[in-house]
Structure 1
C-alpha cells in the first residue's frame, strides 16, 4: 500500500508540475513562461511536502489540544494509534459546528489529526472512533502527502494562470507587433489546467477514501459504526456548510462544499451511499468469518 501511494504521489507531482511548465510556456509564447512555471512547481512541491500540515490547519483555524484539554478524545486516539501501529499524532480541534475531520502531515512521524467541535457533538463514541481510525489509515498509507501535493499544486496552477493571463493580455508588445502570449496558452491556464488538476486529484482521492474506510474497519472491527458516522456527517453537513479553502477539500473525511448537481461531477469523495455499502459488505464478511471460526 505504501509503495503504491508513493507511485501515485510521484505521478501526481509530475502531471501537475507538467501542467504548470507547459501552461506557462504556451501562455507567454517563450521559454520565460516555462521557467516561471518550473519555479512555481518547485516551490509548490517543496512547500506541499514541508508545510502541508501548517497550511491545512491554518485554513480551518485549527487549535492544538492536549490530554488536559480533552482526555477522552486523547485516550481514544492513543488507543487507536496503538492498534494501527503508528506514532501518536498531534491533535487539533477546528472551531466550527460543521461535523468533519481530517489528517495531515508529510509522514507518520509528523502527522496531525484534527476534528471539528461539531463532529464531537453529534457522533457517539464508536462512530467517532471509526472516523479517527479512518484518518489514521490516511496517515499510515501516506495519503496525507498526496492530499497536500494535490491541494497546493492545484492552487498554484490557478494562481499562475491568473498571473500569466494578466501578462498575456496587458503585457508589452513584441517585435512582431503582438501583445502578450499565445491565446491558446491563456485558455489552457485559465480553463483547462485547473480542470485537469481537479480530475487528477479526484482520480486518486476517491480510491483513497474507500481504502481508508476499509482500514478503519480493520482497526476498530466495527465497520457499521463508521457507516453510521458517514450518514450523520452528510446529513448534518448539508445543513451547516463548512467555511474554508476549497483547495483543502480532499483532506476532509466528508465533502463539505459540493452540493449542486454540477458540482457533484467534480466531487473529491465517493458518494456516501457507496461508502456505506462497502462498509456493510465488510461487516457481513466479518460476521461470516466469525461464524466459520466458531464452528
Structure 2
C-alpha cells in the first residue's frame, strides 16, 4: 500500500510539472517554451525541496522552542518519535490561540513540528500525543516534502500564468506561428491550469491525511484519542482561524481556512467526519485483536 501511494504521488507531481511545461509551450508557441517551462518547474521543485521548512515556519511566525521551556513536552515527543522510528524533530510554537499543528522539512533528518500555543494549552495529554503522532507519521512517510513540492508547483503555475498572461495581452509573447496572441494559452493559464493544479494538490493531501491518521493510531494504540482531538480541532478551527499563506494550508492537521462559499470545493483535507469514522473502525479492529489475544492466552495457560 505504501509503495502504491508513493507511485500515485510521483505521478501527480509529474502531472503538475507537465502542466507547467505545457504552459510554457502555449505561451511561447514553440520548443523554446517547453525548455522555459521545464526549467521553471525544476527551479520550483528544488526551491521547495530545500527551503520548504523555512518558508512554512516563517509563514506562520513559528518560533523554535528550547527544551527548558517545556521539558515534559520534549520528553513526550522523543518517546513518540522512538515509537514512530524517526529522529527527534525540532519543535516550533506558532503564536496563535487556534488549535492546530503541522510538520515540515525535506526529510526525517531535517524535520520540524509546529504546534500552536492554543493546542499546547488546551488539549489533554493523550489527545496532544495523538496529534503529535499524526505529524510524526507525515515525517516518516516524507509527506512534508511531497506537500511542499506540490504546493510550490501549484503556486508556480498560478503565478506564472498571471505574470505571463499579462505579457501575452500587452506584448507579442504568446503566439501560434505568427498569428498573434493565442487565446487558448491565455484561457489555460488563467483558468484551466490553476484549477487542475488545485485539484491535483487536493488529491495528494487527502490521501496523505488518511494515512497519517492510521499511523497515529498505530503509534499511540489509541485511535479514539485522535478522534476526540480532531473533533475539537474541527469545531475550533473556524472560530479561531490562523492567518498565513494559504498555500501551506495542506500541511495542517485540520484545514485552517474558511469553509464558506466556493472554498468548500477546494478543501485540501478530507471531511473530518470521514476521518473519525475510519479511526473508530480502527479502534474496533484493535479491540477485537486485543480480545482475541486474551482468549488465546487463556487457552494456552495451564489448567488450575
TM over 0.5: yes
Q: Cα RMSD over matched residues?
A: 1.8
Check the 8 A contact 2:29/2:177 in 1, yes or no.
no
1:291–1:169 distance in 2 versus 1, CA, 3 Å: same
How many Å separate the matches in 2 of 1:270 and 1:176?
45
Paired residues in the alignment total 294
Gap runs ≥5 in structure 2: 296-304
Give the TM-score normalised by structure 1: 0.94
Instruction: Report the alpha carbon displacement of residue 32 of structure 1 after superposing the two structures with TM.
Output: 4.0
Answer yes or no: is the 8 Å Cα contact 2:29–2:176 preserved in 1.
no
State the 4+ residue runs in structure 1 displaced beyond 2 angstroms. Answer: 1-10, 27-36, 172-179
Structure-2-length-normalised TM-score? 0.92
C-alpha spacing 1:41/1:218, structure 2 compared with 1 (3 Å): same
* SS in structure 2 of the partner of residue 68 of structure 1: helix
Structure 1 counterpart of 2:298: none
Residue aligning to 1:155: 155
Q: Which residue of 1 aligns with 2:280?
A: 280
Aligned residue for 1:227?
Answer: 227
How many angstroms apart in 2 are the aligned matches of 1:103 and 1:145?
Answer: 10
SS at match of 2:226: helix
SS in 1 for 2:67: coil
Question: What residue in structure 1 maps to residue 301 of structure 2?
Answer: none
2:223 equivalent to 1:247: no
Tell me which residue corresponds to 1:208. Answer: 208
Does residue 125 in structure 1 map to residue 142 in structure 2? no
Distance in 2 of aligned mates of 1:62 and 1:175:
47
Please state how far the C-alpha of 1:110 moved relative to its aligned partner.
1.2
| Larger Cα-atom Rg | 2
Q: Secondary structure at the match of 1:153?
A: helix
Query: Does the CA-based 8 Å contact 1:27-1:183 persist in structure 2?
Result: no
Output one character per residue of 1:51-95: Cα deviation in whole Å (capped at 9) or x when no partner: 111111111111111211221211111010011111111111111
- The answer (yes or no) to whether the contact 1:22–1:34 under 8 Å persists in 2 is yes
| CA contact 2:147–2:204 (8 Å) conserved in 1 | no
Matched, 1:83 2:88: no
Match of 1:53 in 2: 53
